[in-house]
Amino acid sequence: MECLRAMLRVLILALLLLPGPGTAADQAPRLQSLQIEIWPEYDRPAALVILKGELAADVKLPATLSLRIPAASGGPGAVAYAAEKTGPLLNLPHDRSTAAGNISLRFTLPERFFHVEFYEPLASGTQERVYKYVWPGDFPVDALHVIVQEPAAAGGISVQPELGQWTNGTDGLRYRAATLGPVQQGKALPVEIRYAKSDPRTSVEILKAGAAAAAAQPGTSSEERDSFRMFLATGAFALLVAGSSLVYFLCWRRRARPAAGGDAGGKFCGKCGSPVAAGDRFCSKCGTALA
Average the pLDDT over each of 75-89, 143-157, 240-254 and give the range with the smallest value: 240-254
Q: Model-level pTM?
A: 0.68
Q: What is the pLDDT of residues 168-223, one digit of tens each?
A: 999 999 999 999 999 999 999 999 999 999 999 999 999 999 898 888 876 555 55
Residue 263, beta-bridge partner list = none
96 Ramachandran zone, left/alpha/beta (phi>0; psi -120 to 50): beta
Contacts of 286 (CB under 8 A, 6+ apart): 269, 271, 272, 274
Cβ 268 vs Cβ 286: under 8 Å: no
More confident residue, 123 or 254: 123
pLDDT of residue 245: 58
pLDDT of residue 49: 98
Do β-strands 78-82 and 90-91 pair in parallel, antiparallel, or remain unpaired? antiparallel
Average the pLDDT over each of 65-69, 134-138, 212-216 and give the range with the smallest value: 212-216
> 27-198 belongs to which homologous superfamily?
tricorn interacting facor f3 domain (2.60.40.1730)
SS3 163: coil
Percent of the chain with pLDDT over 70: 70
DSSP 8-state secondary structure symbol assigned to residue 183: B
With cut-offs at 50, 70 and 90, classify the pLDDT of residue 22.
Answer: very low
pLDDT of residue 10: 42
Burial grade of 149 (CB within 10 A; 0-12, 13-18, 19 or more): buried
Residue ranges, comma separated, of all CATH 2.60.40.1730 domains in the chain are: 27-198
Cα-flanking dihedrals φ and ψ of residue 241, to 5°?
Answer: -65, -45
Helices (runs of H) and strands (runs of E) counted in the chain: 3, 14
Cα distances (angstroms) measured from residue 69 to each of 45, 99, 129, 189, 265: 19, 11, 21, 13, 114
* Mean of all residue pLDDT scores within the chain: 82
pLDDT above 50 (res 67): yes
With cut-offs at 50, 70 and 90, classify the pLDDT of residue 230.
Answer: low
Cβ 157 vs Cβ 193: under 8 Å: yes
pLDDT of residue 18: 45
Contacts of 37 (CB under 8 A, 6+ apart): 48, 49, 50, 51, 52, 146, 147, 148, 149
pLDDT of residue 77: 97
Quote the strand ranges of the chain, DSSP E.
31-40, 46-55, 63-70, 78-82, 90-91, 95-99, 102-109, 113-121, 128-135, 141-149, 155-160, 167-168, 174-179, 189-196
Quote the strand ranges of 71-224, DSSP E.
78-82, 90-91, 95-99, 102-109, 113-121, 128-135, 141-149, 155-160, 167-168, 174-179, 189-196
Cα distances (angstroms) measured from residue 238 to each of 55, 134, 148, 246, 285: 75, 74, 61, 12, 46
pLDDT of residue 274: 75
Percent of the chain with pLDDT over 90: 60
Mean pLDDT (whole number) for 103-108: 98
pLDDT of residue 125: 84
pLDDT of residue 27: 83
Mean pLDDT (whole number) for 256-260: 43
Q: Which of 148-157, 235-244, 263-272 is the most confident on average? A: 148-157
Mean pLDDT (whole number) for 109-126: 95
Average the pLDDT over each of 55-59, 83-87, 124-128, 256-260 and give the range with the smallest value: 256-260
